[in-house]
A and B are shown apart, each in its own frame.
Chain A
Amino acid sequence: MIQRPELANNKCAVDREQERHLVFAVQRGDPEAFRELYDAYRERIYNLVTYSIGDPLQTQDVLQTIFLKVFRGLRGFRFQSSLSTWIYRIAHNECQNYHRAWRAPHVPLEAILGSHHEIDTRPVSHEQHARQERDVILQQALMQLPFKMREVVVLKYVEGLSYDEIGRVLGCAPGTVASRLNRALTELEERLRPFKRLL
């Protein structure tokens, strides 16, 4: 299922103080607290993993591994960084591990979107059709970028993180983030230039 970015801001967000209470509750062994944290972060991490990996089956596996690590790690979490940075960092490491282990070419995103179209048999308007087509073109272009560039684009444009936050997640300086974004966006522009009128 795909949602527009402007709707995506309606995430199940928790503020810092609430997050702190939830972490303490998880440390005391409260499963409901973990469920709340999971709900708050699942969608955000899902985006990063989906765009990093591409294969829907592998995405589910990696997502699960990430949250298992989060759950185990939360028992010793001491707020030395913000919780979101810490969780994104675990996700980034897991995606990186996946790419190191598999070294396989990406599965085209058509595979994912194809199954979506097969399930949703309702007639679509011309506008919806055009939007779906645009999403596919954009996603395919993004998936062709190297992993490091793709990740920085997703963290900036889908997750809305600042340069500093991206730097903390990826373990690099904000200047490096800016350079990587410049390269990623120019490559994206080059790949999408033939489709400019459709976008």
Chain B
Amino acid sequence: MSCWHFSLRRKLLPYIEGEIHEKDLKRLERHLLDCGLCRDLLLRLRAGHQMAQKLAHQVPGGDYPPEIEAMMAAAGEGTPRPRMRVQAWHDWVERFATPGVLGVLTAVLVAQLALLVASNRDVLFGQKSAATIKTSDLDLNDFHVLDIADLKLNTEPHIATEGYVTDVHTDKEEGTVAFKLVESQSAPGPFVVCEIMSPIKMAAPRDGSYVRVYGVSRYDAQTDRKWYEVNPVLDIAVLKH
């Protein structure tokens, strides 16, 4: 003999826990009056439930496993470098850091600095704004650089792509800024929608400027959208105002 009320049998545990819906409660209690098998199952489940509630919680040891430590350290330093190289660098400095060599190096550095200041004086003395909107601790070399038209072939999560900024839209309620990036100002496509969102604080690029956007690549499959996105945007470099 068996009971075929499978759906009601599934409600027995919620019934024991007092989390059953009212409409199911009446049905179940009516069924329990008639069905000895389900009454037996109820008793066994109640006992099993009480025992399972006493299962102990295992607590792991306090140390981080070495591989996890190494991985976190590598993430903090960008590309992990072998320690031997650091040692070799120190040895090299100790051997060649004579006053003469240091003097020549200092002179070269000063000359380079002067050249750098001369070539960027517009930016440095405020006649133009700085080219990069946000300098973050991202390693921008990790991003896969590709054209907007090639986004559909991309499988990398982190990408960098360039284009002209159009349709900048700020949503104050959501705290997001979205804009379109197009390859050519004369054609509407191909394009990618870029979204700057909380908690990443970043100024929106100017409409018409040519920028390189770094961020996470995704595809928005909603019926009214169906487009590629860089969401969230992690950094923006303005290449042309």
Contacts and interface: CB of A to CB of B under 8 A. Distances in A.
B52 interface: yes
A3 B56 CA distance: 6
Interface in B16-74: 41, 44-45, 47-49, 51-61, 64-65, 67-68, 71-73
Contact of A68 (B59, B71, B216): B71
A138 B75 contact: no
Interface centre among B9, B72, B158, B199 (most CB of A within 10 A): B72
A156 B49 CA distance: 10
B75 A29 contact: yes
Interface of B, secondary structure class, is mixed
A180 to B, nearest CB: 10
Interface of A: 1-5, 7-8, 20-21, 24, 26-32, 34-35, 38, 42-43, 46-47, 50-51, 60, 63-64, 67-68, 71, 75-76, 78, 134-135, 138-139, 141-142, 153-154, 156-158, 175, 178-179, 181-182, 184-190, 192-193, 196, 199
Q: Which 10 A-B pairs have the closest CB atoms?
A: A185-B48, A76-B157, A8-B57, A189-B48, A31-B76, A178-B10, A31-B72, A46-B60, A157-B52, A2-B56
A29 B52 contact: no
Nearest to B217: A76
22 contacts: A8-B57, A20-B199, A24-B199, A24-B232, A29-B78, A35-B72, A38-B64, A50-B58, A63-B65, A78-B218, A139-B55, A141-B51, A178-B10, A178-B11, A179-B6, A182-B45, A185-B13, A186-B44, A187-B48, A188-B51, A188-B52, A189-B44
A157 B55 contact: yes
B215 to A, nearest CB: 9
B191 to A, nearest CB: 20
Given A34-B75, A51-B58, 4 more contacts: A1-B61, A7-B57, A20-B199, A186-B41
A67 B68 contact: yes
Given A67-B68, A68-B71, A188-B51, A27 B58 contact: no
Interface stretch (B134-142, B165-173, B179-187, B204-212): B134-142
B138 A34 contact: no
Contact of B75 (A31, A157, A158, A189): A31
B200 interface: yes
Contacts of B48: 184-189, 192
B60 A5 contact: no
Contacts of A135: 56
A78 B216 contact: yes
A20 B5 CA distance: 43
A6 to B, nearest CB: 9
A28 B60 contact: no
Contacts of B68: 38, 64, 67-68
B203 to A, nearest CB: 18
A175 B76 contact: no
A1 B52 contact: no
Contact of A31 (B11, B65, B73): B73
Contacts of B178: none
Contacts of A2: 56-59
Contacts of B157: 75-76
B12 interface: yes
Contact of A43 (B13, B60, B76): B60
Given A28-B136, A186-B44, A1 B59 contact: yes
